Structure 1
Amino acid sequence: MANKYEMIYMTRDEIEKRFKETSIAILPIGALEQHGHHLPLGTDVIIAEELSKRVCTETGALLLPAVSFGYSWVWRNIPGTISLKQHNVEEIIKDTATSLNRYGVKTLIVINGHDANNASMKYAARELEDEIGIKVIYLFYPDMNDVIEKIMESDTWHGLIHACEFETSLMLAIKPEVVHMEKAVKEYPNKPLLYGKSTISLGDLSKSGVYGDPTKATKEKGEKLLKIFTEKIVNIIKSIDS
């Protein structure tokens, strides 16, 4: 066994033993979509997976393979984007939880790195509560706004994080070799009156694909963010009556 957390590397005998030791599993989920010219397409899932690994190390929960695709309609015309329909993201979460429930898992923690997946997580959790009773805790950077205010130097774009100082700092801490800081640019597009009330979307507004100021990102900020969010998620898991 490579380690006692990652299911993808376990044999059937090893995982059967682990299911007797823990009733909590963690599912990282993200997206494959553009993140400006300086970050890789997989930014959201890379961050979600790293957070999940750290949380599993602290809690002993089982780590599922990451879901690399999400609801990415707004970037659908940019090469490399793989966008699932919103209800398909929901069904992936539901099918995963239903499978795990057969083996005694009582709580599924979904650690998300992609804002547009949040609705799918919420509705999947509600339906699973009614259908099989499994507890689903869905998380997207707990207390994110407060954390950003304390650590980041730049403002968000109307509360949104995308290819900004926040995500770029995290990637510099996790996988700096795939970050091209020489291509990072600051951009705060104008927000049309109909944004959020029509099909006008992020893909229509930013020339660079950036929303914020990634030029202020550092590895040190990223490490602080990882530590804070890991601690917050661990505390949430410890509070669960599973």
Structure 2
Amino acid sequence: MYLADRTWPELGSYVAEESVAVVPLGSTEQHGPHLPLATDHLIAEALAAAAADRTGFLRTPTINIGVSPHHRQFHGTMWVDPPEFRDYVESFTRNLAYHGIDRVVYVNAHGGNVEHLREVGRRLHEDGEVYAVEWMWDESIPGLVNDLFERNGPHAGPKETAMITHIAPDLVREEKLEAARDEGLVDLRDAETVVHGARTFYDAADNSPNGAFGDPTDVTPEKAAELFEAAADQLVQLLEWLDAQRIEDLLPEPHVDPQPGSRRER
């Protein structure tokens, strides 16, 4: 169920029976010479839509711009600063809670959002108002990603190329795949960005001249379909698990006795 397509009485019927919401988040940032800037939010939205359709849970509009200043050197990249991003996500999640949602899955497809979404989830959990967790699609199927692609990359590599090949193949610049590989960084071990135990880089441009990592030529439609379906299945299972939990078991445990400041029996 897509929230924005529904009327308010229809949503009232939903929250009378259900309390789960799926929130897709991504970014609008460079993804090498072969993938669109929309890559991350397209992936998040497609996975969230597939899982919501299969389970019947509520899906919100997609958050298209995330924490991406580490890609700022490349044309078109957009970003919001971390504090504003965290506050925004927390605010609209509290809005969902006001309407009766008490458990949320952030369907995330951008690495720069991870720590901030987890911080928002921690804040909300601490307040005991809503249980929200961050879900990163490729972290749900790491074994499959490694099995399918010999030379992976954390950004604009074969796994993201495969997802866009499945979701929106017309947006993949196939004539640029070899350039993405040959003019980017295929193996992170060649970057020499850790010196005496210190990470010496901050931006993608410090490592890859064209913003791509890994070998995106190692993608086929069959691999792309397998990757998407595996990730969507993991998300469906997470949503079904979350729905089956008692909210009391998801929110913070009570303080052990005696409570701070309580009078102790003498």
Q: Hey, what does 1:238 align to over in structure 2?
A: 240
The answer as to 2:186 corresponding to 1:193 is no
The answer as to 2:181 corresponding to 1:182 is no
Q: Which amino acid aligns with 1:179?
A: V
**Given that residues 146 and 152 in structure 2 are in contact (C-alpha distance below 8 angstroms), is that contact kept between their aligned partners in structure 1?**
no
The answer as to 2:140 corresponding to 1:147 is no
Which residues of 2 match residues 78-227 of structure 1 at below 5 A? 78-141=74-137, 142-152=139-149, 154-157=150-153, 160=154, 162-184=155-177, 185-186=180-181, 187-188=185-186, 190-194=191-195, 197-227=199-229
Q: Pick closer, same or farther for the CA change 1:111–1:196 going to 2, 3 Å.
A: farther
**Given that residues 7 and 64 in structure 1 are in contact (C-alpha distance below 8 angstroms), is that contact kept between their aligned partners in structure 2?**
yes
Report how many residues are paired: 234
SS at match of 1:56: helix
Q: Which amino acid aligns with 1:71?
A: V
TM-score norm. by structure 1 comes to: 0.91
SS at match of 2:79: coil
In 2: Cα distance, 1:77 partner to 1:23 partner: 41
**CA RMSD, 1 decimal:** 1.7
In 2: Cα distance, 1:190 partner to 1:205 partner: 6
Deviations 1:173-202 (A, max 9, x none): 100111111111213252322597345321
SS at match of 1:26: strand
In 1: Cα distance, 2:82 partner to 2:163 partner: 26
Deviations 1:61-117 (A, max 9, x none): 101000000110111122211111112221222112100111111111100000110
Once the two structures are TM-superposed, the CA of residue 203 in structure 1 deviates from its matched residue by 2.1
**Given that residues 170 and 221 in structure 1 are in contact (C-alpha distance below 8 angstroms), is that contact kept between their aligned partners in structure 2?**
no
The answer as to 2:10 corresponding to 1:7 is no
In 2: Cα distance, 1:130 partner to 1:45 partner: 28
Specify the structure having the higher radius of gyration (Cα).
2
Q: Which amino acid aligns with 2:232?
A: T
In 2: Cα distance, 1:88 partner to 1:198 partner: 26
User: Kindly, what percent of the aligned residue pairs are identical?
Assistant: 25
Once the two structures are TM-superposed, the CA of residue 145 in structure 1 deviates from its matched residue by 2.2
Q: Which amino acid aligns with 2:123?
A: E
Q: Which amino acid aligns with 2:168?
A: K
In 2: Cα distance, 1:191 partner to 1:134 partner: 43
> 5+ residue gaps in structure 1?
none
TM-score norm. by structure 2 comes to: 0.83
